[in-house]
């Protein structure tokens, strides 16, 4: 019955003990930002099951899930999403005033991430390129990521390794590991292999097999 919010644009790990089941929902960022001016304040800070609001929201999520499973062919339109978002809004503490600065920085961070995703395969992708695209200083881009314990370069590297894992798992990428590494913007196969092993605990070849 606990509910936790995570940011899908950032790296995170979840550890559980015993038998655990979960329901995963992907929430529209723009609608979430309309509910709270600082969604990052709530990330990975579980809403406990013994809170009345949490229990109510959990019950709505389960009811919607069961309804969709029972009638998968029904056109589940935006009205149901609005019901869900309205319920989730009760979890957030209403702030007395919206911080324009926090909204502006969050919007800029998401623009930076969107630019990274569009240019992830470009070996020349750098903090300088991102800053130039968004017409801000390099320091501004660094601060957007540093506030979350990352550097822009580290975020780019992590995303490339995650994509590499997805391609190896699906078999949709190049058949040769060298070609895969180069296609993801790596210029050094040994560096790619070392970073991949650190991320997944296996070499790319072992992971694919």
- How many C-beta atoms surround the C-beta of residue 54 within 10 A? 18
Sign of the Cα torsion 11, 166, 189, 121 reads negative
Q: Note the pTM of the prediction, 2 decimals.
A: 0.53
Beta strands (DSSP E) in 10-123 are none
**pLDDT tens-digit map of 124-175:** 889 999 999 999 999 999 888 876 677 888 888 888 888 898 888 888 878 7
pLDDT of the residue at 96? 41
Query: What is the DSSP track for 177-199?
Result: HHHHHHHTT-S-HHHHHHHHHHH
């Amino acid at each position: 019955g606990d509910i936790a919010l995570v940011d899908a644009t950032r790296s995170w790990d979840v550890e559980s003990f015993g038998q655990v089941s979960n329901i995963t929902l992907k929430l529209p960022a723009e609608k979430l930002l309309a509910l709270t001016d600082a969604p990052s304040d709530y990330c990975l800070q579980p809403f406990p099951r013994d809170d009345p609001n949490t229990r109510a929201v959990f019950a709505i999520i389960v009811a919607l899930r069961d309804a969709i499973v029972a009638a998968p062919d029904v056109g589940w339109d935006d009205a149901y999403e609005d019901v869900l978002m309205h319920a989730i809004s009760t979890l957030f503490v209403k702030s007395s005033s919206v911080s324009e600065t926090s909204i502006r920085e969050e919007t800029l961070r998401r623009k930076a991430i969107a630019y990274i995703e569009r240019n992830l395969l470009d070996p020349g992708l750098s903090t300088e390129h991102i800053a130039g695209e968004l017409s801000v200083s390099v320091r501004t881009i660094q601060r957007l990521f540093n506030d979350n314990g990352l550097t822009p370069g580290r975020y780019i590297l992590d995303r490339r390794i995650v994509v590499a894992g997805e391609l190896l798992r699906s078999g949709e990428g190049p058949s040769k590991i060298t070609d895969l590494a180069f296609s993801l913007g790596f210029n050094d196969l040994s560096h790619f292999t070392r970073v991949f092993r650190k991320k997944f605990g296996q070499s790319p070849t072992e992971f694919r097999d």
